[in-house]
Structure 1
Amino acid sequence: MLRLRSLIRYASTGRMCLSADASSASLPKIDKEALKELRQRTGYSYVNCKKALLQFGSERLEDAEKWLRELAAKEGWTKAANLSHRQVKNGLVSVITDGNTAAVVEVNCETDFVTRGTDFRNLVERITRSALLASKEYAATSSASGERFVVKSKPFDSLKSTSGDTSLKEALTSVIGKLGENITVSKVQLIVADPGVALFGYAHPREGTSHVDMGKFVSVVGLRRLCADSFPIEKLGEQICQHVVGMRSETLGPPIVEVEGSNKVERFDGGSSEKVEDSEADEEVQTTEIDESRQVLLHQSFMLNPSQTVYEYVTGHGAKIVDFFRMKLGEYANKNG
C-alpha cells in the first residue's frame, strides 16, 4: 500500500514538473539588454517593461515603448480622478523669457520628493514652454500700454503643446499615473512688454532644467536701455531679478532724486515733476526717504550695493526698470480637502 502511494506521488510530481517545463518553454525569453534599454527610455517599472517585451519582443522596442506610454496614460486618467481630492502643498514655480515676452507657471504636487525628480521637472518645462508660445501669440495680437507689463492669466487647458503627439493634459495625467501623486497646474501667467523692453527672469533656489528656471520664488524684470554702457544688460537684469526675490519688492514706485546744486527734491512720476523748496524740502525728504518696509523697488537699497538705491544703480548703468513681476509658490495653489 505504501509502495503504491509512493508511486502515485512520484507520478504526480513528474507531471507537475513536465507541466512547469512546458509552460516555461512556451514563454519567449526576455533580452536583458532590451529590458534595460526600455526602462532607461521610459522610466517605467520592471514589471510593466517586462510585460511590454513579452507582448512585442526585444526587436520591437518602439512598439513596446508606445504601448507603455498608452498604458501609463490610461492608468493616469484613473489615478488623476482618484487622487484629485488630495492636497498639493509642494511644487515648483517656473519662468522663461524671450525678448519682450515671458511666462510664469506654477505646478503643484503632494511631496517635495517628487519636485526633485526628472519626470516632474520635464513636465513643468513642457508646460512652461507652451505658455511662452501663448505669450508670443498674445504679443502678436496686442501690445503693452505705456511702460507697464501686460500680465494675462491663461487657463491650462487652453495651452497648445509645443512637442510630441500628446496634449499637455495627457502628459500631465501620464506623469500622475507614473508617480502616483496628485499634480495640478494652479497658475499660468503670460507677460508682455513694449517691443523696446527686454525681459529677464530668475528663480530661487535656482533649479529646473537647461531651458527653464524653476524654484520656490520667481521674478521677471523689464529693462529699457537709455544709453550705451559696457555693463551687460543681461547681468543687470539678473541682478535686479535677484533683488526683487530677496528683498520682496512689491511695487515699482516713482524715482526720487535731489536736484544738483539746490535744496530741491524732485519726484518723478509719470513724466511730471513736483518741486519742493527750502523749508519744505526737509519734510519732503522725510516723507519720501528710503523705507524698505514699504517694499518699493526703486526706493530700496540695492541688495548688492546698499550705498545706492535700486534706481541709482540701474540708471548708473544706463538703463531703466519699466516694470517687474514676482510670485512665490503657494500663492495660487488649489488647496483641496
Structure 2
Amino acid sequence: MSISAAMVKELRETTGAGMMDCKTALKENDGNMEAAIDWLRTKGLAKAAKKAGRVAAEGLVGVASSGATAAVVEVNSETDFVARNEGFQKLVSDIAATAVESDGTVEGLAAAGYPGSDKSVADTLTDAVATIGENMTLRRVTKLSVSEGVVASYIHNAASAGLGKIGVLVALESAGDAAKLEAIGRQVAMHVAATNPLAATTDEMDPAVVAREREVFSEQARESGKPDNIIEKMVEGRIRKFYEEVVLLKQTFVIDGENTVEQALKNAEGDVGAPIALKGFIRLALGEGIEKVEEDFAAEVAAATGQA
C-alpha cells in the first residue's frame, strides 16, 4: 500500500513520534492508522494513549439545573464572533434551561417549546440563523439526575454564567447537606474538566479499550525477554497505572494533589453529614470530534488574484 505524506503527518501529530518512525509504522501495518499507533507505542516511540480530537466548531456549551436534575447542551456556530453575541448567548442559555425538562435527546429538545414563545427550539434556531446570519446547529444534549442529592456543574472558559467551552456535570447521591454537597461536587466537576476521564469506575471502562491497552503492554513486556509469570505481573501493574490515569475515582484529585477522587469524596462525608455516592459524570467540550478543515489563506488569496 502507498503511504501518503498526509498519512505520515496525521500519525506524527497524533503520536509525537518522528517522521521516519511514523512512515515505518504505517508500512508495517499496511496503512492502518490505529495499528500504526499501537506499533509505535509498543516500540516505545509514542506516548499517546488516545488521539486528541481536532476541534474546529465554534459556539457554546451551556449548563442548567433544576433540583436534582441538570443538563448540558452544545450549540455550534460558524465563528467565535457569534459565540460572543449576547443574542446567541441568551439562545444557548434558554435551550439549556429547556433541556432540563426535555427527554434528554437532541430530537426531543429540538421539538420542545422555546421559553416565552409559541415556537419550538428548532424553529427558534432557524429564525436566529436568519437574524444573525450564520448557520447554527443543536449538536448534543445530555441530562443527569439523582433521586437524592445534587448534580453539580462547572463551566470552563466561561463566556458568561453557565456558558463556555467545556461543560461538566457530576451527579452525587447523598442525604447530606445540599450546599456542602454542591461544593464538593463542583470541585469534582473542575477535576473532570481538567483530566477528561474515560469512565467513572473501572467496571464502566470500555472492555475494548482495556483489551487494546493490555495487548500493547503485553507486547512491550515480551520484548523485555522476561519469563511469562513476570510479564503477567508487569502487565497487571501497567493496567493498574492506566486505570489511575483514566478512571475518575482512581485519579489523583487535582484540587489537593494527594488523595484519589474516591478518597476525597469519602473525606467529605463527615462535613456533608452522610455517605456520598458518585452516580455519574458528563463532560462536553466544544467541537470535540468535529474535524477541522484547514485552509491555506495565502493560497486562497493567490488564487483569487490570479497569481496561483
Task: Please confirm whether the aligned pair reaches a TM-score higher than 0.5, indicating the same fold.
Answer: yes
**CA RMSD across the alignment:** 3.1
Whether 2:76 is the aligned partner of 1:127: answer no
1:1-337 superposed matches below 5 A: 89-134=57-102, 138=103, 152-155=104-107, 156-189=109-142, 191-209=143-161, 213-225=162-174, 228=176, 232-254=180-202, 286=237, 289-291=240-242, 294-318=245-269, 319-331=276-288
Which letter maps to 1:127? I
Name the SS for the 1:250 alignment partner. Answer: coil
The C-alpha deviation readout for 1:168-221, integer Å capped at 9, x for no partner, is 2332233222221111111222x2434124211111112334xxx111111110
Offset at 1:93?
1.2
Which letter maps to 1:205? N
Question: How far apart in 2 are the matches of 1:196 and 1:229?
Answer: 11
Question: How far apart in 1 are the matches of 2:202 and 2:278?
Answer: 11
- Paired residues in the alignment total 203
Offset at 1:123?
0.9
Name the SS for the 1:195 alignment partner. Answer: coil
CA contact (8 A) 1:290 1:301 kept: no
Question: How far apart in 2 are the matches of 1:207 and 1:234?
Answer: 22
Question: How far apart in 2 are the matches of 1:157 and 1:300?
Answer: 36
Which letter maps to 1:153? T
Question: How far apart in 2 are the matches of 1:159 and 1:332?
Answer: 26
Q: Once structures 1 and 2 are overlaid, which stretch shifts more, 246-255 or 102-111?
A: 246-255
Name the SS for the 1:201 alignment partner. Answer: strand
Name the SS for the 1:236 alignment partner. Answer: helix
Q: Check 1:215–1:223 CA distance in 2 against 1; reply closer, same or farther (3 A cut).
A: same
Q: Check 1:308–1:129 CA distance in 2 against 1; reply closer, same or farther (3 A cut).
A: same
Question: How far apart in 2 are the matches of 1:206 and 1:235?
Answer: 18
Question: How far apart in 2 are the matches of 1:240 and 1:127?
Answer: 25
CA contact (8 A) 1:107 1:187 kept: yes
Q: Check 1:289–1:231 CA distance in 2 against 1; reply closer, same or farther (3 A cut).
A: farther
Higher strand share: 1
Name the SS for the 1:175 alignment partner. Answer: helix
Q: Check 1:244–1:252 CA distance in 2 against 1; reply closer, same or farther (3 A cut).
A: same
Which letter maps to 2:75? V
Q: Check 1:154–1:109 CA distance in 2 against 1; reply closer, same or farther (3 A cut).
A: closer
Q: Counterpart of 2:5? A: none
Question: How far apart in 2 are the matches of 1:316 and 1:231?
Answer: 16
Offset at 1:291?
4.2
Offset at 1:287?
5.9
Name the SS for the 2:281 alignment partner. Answer: strand
CA contact (8 A) 2:110 2:120 kept: no
Question: How far apart in 1 are the matches of 2:95 and 2:290?
Answer: 16
Name the SS for the 1:331 alignment partner. Answer: coil
Offset at 1:292?
6.6
Q: Check 1:301–1:291 CA distance in 2 against 1; reply closer, same or farther (3 A cut).
A: farther
CA contact (8 A) 1:89 1:110 kept: yes
Question: How far apart in 2 are the matches of 1:121 and 1:133?
Answer: 20
Name the SS for the 1:327 alignment partner. Answer: strand
Q: Check 1:296–1:93 CA distance in 2 against 1; reply closer, same or farther (3 A cut).
A: same
CA contact (8 A) 1:229 1:317 kept: no
Offset at 1:290?
4.9
- Please, which runs of 5 or more residues in structure 2 have no aligned partner? 1-55, 204-232, 270-275, 294-308
**If you compute each CA radius of gyration, which structure gives the higher value, 1 or 2?**
1
Q: Check 1:100–1:335 CA distance in 2 against 1; reply closer, same or farther (3 A cut).
A: farther
CA contact (8 A) 1:243 1:302 kept: yes
Name the SS for the 2:173 alignment partner. Answer: strand
The C-alpha deviation readout for 1:273-316, integer Å capped at 9, x for no partner, is xxxxxxxxx98994675547741000100001111100000111
Offset at 1:167?
3.2
Name the SS for the 2:257 alignment partner. Answer: strand
Offset at 1:153?
2.4
